[in-house]
Structure 1
């Protein structure tokens, strides 16, 4: 039964991603908003809702390890697996935005702040508030750096209304987030039946499940030649995961963080974030970069399971 639920939930994720991509592209083109900005805000925050729900729930239930592991694991999945697959599957990736000059630092700021906050072994209410201020700073930066792009003349002629787009966006997020929720539960049940530990369920299955929206949305965007939206979604999601997800979780209930016990996973997330900066600096949006990212993902899996 769990296998059937997992398959159905994955189908919902795919259809939900289609709705999100289509409507986000229309909003971007009709209002002269850069697809990168749409990906880094509307789509990124929407696809980060599963992480938020999972981590806040874990915090309320007194399971800080799961709340923190979910964010660290999601960062690892987003960069290594999602971007790795995007680079491998996309025919050609030529972002219109200079991502290195304008955005790459935001892949490092949140994790640096997280490590600094965690040195004393906990994330407090005050730390959570600071995380939310960091998210506010990121949103202000995005709005101020929006690139006005030429509107597609054919699409400009089409009737456009927020009402219809809002309905489809809402439906897309419901399918995507709902699909992720059921995928997490069913995958966790399957894992427990095989005797996999709760920690690995939190780090991998929960993180993978909550990263499914980013995975489906980014791959769909890449295949539809929306590279800016795909990369913007990953960077924005990682910022949202550290700032909004950990921030709100710490405000609900202080989170204990054991840096030494979780050193490998945290360092892996940091290294991947640095790799993303190098990729954008050298404009290595190609299959070689995808292979390098997937190799790191394989190393993380090997260290955890073997």
Structure 2
């Protein structure tokens, strides 16, 4: 069992480091090629920080562990809101009066409703995967066109410049870390689940989901300590959209993904309810205060305790 725990930890470290290396190398390359900062943020950075979820879900589906694949996405979205935003708000209240945030919240809710429907359908297959990926691409194009005039001069994420050789080292090393990290994480998670008699769905919803959300967690905590907690909000909303439409969409294109009935009847509705609650809080209050952040952490603790 100790070896499986060490494999799990090693997988998480490789996933986190791999995502960081890949993002730095890809952003530097995109800057050198003259890509607009907004487009870099929406594609290179957004895709890079979500690659752990993509690789883990894809590997899980191919390893005949679809409950981990779906649980990873649903659990990540729930953790993004309750754990990551809750922690960020507890550190520093989040100002939610951000231009065009309402548009992105609506898209996040649409993606959550789609997930709910797919859960009751029972399987996400090729046709659904193609539609989901097409919807994500359409959303990215729409956002790029509507936000093209937004000033991104203060965006530290897109101000990365390294030498050409280091770009290749970062990109290749990052991809390697992600692939090997995903393999280790899935093998260890399945072994631990079997050893303790815990379902793969619960492992996917908790350990794997939080583990693959570490890049978002690190980004949000650092932003909160720097009093830029609103960055955490945009990071979470965008990640939740990408997780459902992009990660499950791509995975379903490669191989059909059955949805575990327990996830379909409780965890997906819970994720949707949390998404609706966040949207209502933002639209009504315009901020997420420390009290709300602590309450979100408490709800997440209760949710995990109930699962286990």
Please indicate, yes or no, whether the TM-score normalized by the shorter chain is above 0.5.
Answer: yes
Match of 1:149, SS state, is: coil
Residues 128 and 252, structure 2, Cα contact 8 Å, conserved in 1: yes
2:79 to 57, 77, 80: 77
The corresponding residue for 2:105 is 104
Determine whether 1:125 maps to 2:126. yes
Alignment of 1:1-306 (within 5 A): 33=37, 40-89=42-91, 91-94=92-95, 97-146=98-147, 147-149=149-151, 151=153, 163=164, 166=167, 170=171, 194-259=196-261, 262-281=264-283, 282-305=285-308
Q: Could you say if the C-alpha distance between residues 97 and 23 of structure 1 is closer, same or farther in structure 2, counting changes exceeding 3 Å?
A: farther
Q: Report which stretch shifted further, 3-12 or 258-267.
A: 3-12
Match of 1:151, SS state, is: coil
CA distance in 2, matches of 1:243, 1:9: 25
CA distance in 2, matches of 1:273, 1:236: 13
Q: Report which stretch shifted further, 1-10 or 250-259.
A: 1-10
Q: Report which stretch shifted further, 137-146 or 18-27.
A: 18-27
CA distance in 2, matches of 1:161, 1:82: 30
Q: Report which stretch shifted further, 174-183 or 194-203.
A: 174-183
Q: Could you say if the C-alpha distance between residues 110 and 166 of structure 1 is closer, same or farther in structure 2, counting changes exceeding 3 Å?
A: farther
Kindly provide the CA deviation profile for residues 208-253 of structure 1, in whole angstroms up to 9, marking residues without a partner as x. 2111121112212332344343222211211111111111211122
1:273, CA displacement in angstroms? 0.9
Q: Report which stretch shifted further, 103-112 or 215-224.
A: 215-224
Q: Report which stretch shifted further, 190-199 or 243-252.
A: 190-199
CA distance in 2, matches of 1:176, 1:57: 11
1:265, CA displacement in angstroms? 0.6
Q: Could you say if the C-alpha distance between residues 195 and 142 of structure 1 is closer, same or farther in structure 2, counting changes exceeding 3 Å?
A: same
1:124, CA displacement in angstroms? 1.6
Unmatched 5+ residue regions in structure 1? Answer: 153-157
CA distance in 2, matches of 1:299, 1:194: 21
Q: Could you say if the C-alpha distance between residues 42 and 72 of structure 1 is closer, same or farther in structure 2, counting changes exceeding 3 Å?
A: same
CA distance in 2, matches of 1:93, 1:110: 23
1:13, CA displacement in angstroms? 7.3
CA distance in 1, matches of 2:22, 2:90: 22
Return the TM-score normalized by structure 1. Answer: 0.77
Residues 180 and 212, structure 1, Cα contact 8 Å, conserved in 2: no
Q: Could you say if the C-alpha distance between residues 111 and 65 of structure 1 is closer, same or farther in structure 2, counting changes exceeding 3 Å?
A: same
Residues 16 and 176, structure 1, Cα contact 8 Å, conserved in 2: yes
CA distance in 2, matches of 1:184, 1:22: 25
